[in-house]
Amino acid sequence: SCGEDVHSVGARLESLTLIIPCHFPRPPQDWIRPYYQRVADRVHEVILVDDASPYSLKDLDHPRIRHLSNSKTMGPAFCRNRGAEAATTDQLGFLDADVYLPPELLDRVDRQFGAGYDAFVGQIDLDRPRSGSLVADHYNLRMRHNYRTTDVVDALYSSCAFIRRSVFEEVGGFDEGYLVPSVEDAELGLRLSQHGWAIRVSHDIVFAHRNDLGLGSLLRSDFVRSRDRVELLAKKRARATLGKTGRFLSSPGNQLLSLAAVAATPVLVALGAMWNAPAMLPLGPVAFYGLSAPYFVEIAREGRPLLFLTSLVLLPVEMTAVLCGVSIGVARMIVRRVTGRSRGGAD
């Protein structure tokens, strides 16, 4: 279980550095400090990069924990790169500050590197301690669904990601132009793919994302990532990745069709009212939920009716936020093309 003491599991992994960007607008959750100390006992070093947090972990004293700090907020991409530059090992691990790794994870990471994996990500496990938020559980379940449907992904999902330092340096690390969490994982994945590196999903490496995500934060994240994804996918070299990064459903085609269903719903409702054709009114929702059926079947298997109802409501709301982000992204891209401006990162 996640409560197992890491002191009792395996030997110390002297070849692994864990890098954790930290930005705490509120006091860190109670489990974080003791957990980081226990994890530090298992690896060569843990590098905490404080991104000008109102609340920091600088008081966390451990011989294998190193503290770096930014004088102003620079974003998680910058923090990960800074941690990688400071690392003294050949293997790098990137974790979100609210990720809880089960004790056996580190041993499995070592085995994956030993098996020849150069870049890989873990998988969310809802059986681990939950966040206590239905919105966060919905988000985690959606991500787990995406991870389970493939063995190779196009993004180095840095919630729980591992990569050889030589590979990371070869492609240039994360794009620091993304000042807030966005598609920097997918952008790095794109460059890894161009250099011939595959990003594998290690299904036996599971972790708990113990965030306290609220509805506003979820929709803001959906909007920003979708907006910036348009620019990423619009690049000539990125066309082959269309629809694969940040997937909501089980296939790129499903995502695009689901967006179309959400966009068509108000049109169908208006036409149904104008033409006195009530049969047209439910066509959009029926199409959307039909395309989403595999996802909702997985939720039903969880045996949590309240989470099922939450996802039933939230998923189309999320897709609406995605649609808005895509629309703004397309408009912004057109303006840049017309004015001749371009940029490599994100706002």
What is the DSSP secondary-structure string of 290-327? Answer: HHTHHHHHHHHHTT-HHHHHHHHHHHHHHHHHHHHHHH
Number of other residues whose CB lies within 10 A of the CB of residue 279: 8
pLDDT of residue 144: 79
| Tens-place pLDDT, residues 237-276 | 444 444 443 343 344 445 555 555 555 555 555 554 555 5
Whole-number Å distance between alpha carbons of 17 and 34 = 18
pTM of the full predicted structure? 0.81
**Residue range 180-195: average pLDDT?**
91
Tell me: the pLDDT tens digits for 55-86? 989 889 999 999 999 999 999 999 999 999 99
Cβ distance 176 to 84 under 8 Å?
no
152: left (phi over 0), alpha (psi -120 to 50) or beta: beta
Q: If you average pLDDT over residues 87-98, what whole number do you get?
A: 95
Compute φ and ψ for 46, nearest 5 degrees: -120, 125
| pLDDT band, very low/low/confident/very high, at 46 (cuts 50, 70, 90) | very high
Half-sphere exposure of 224 (CA within 13 A, CB side): 16
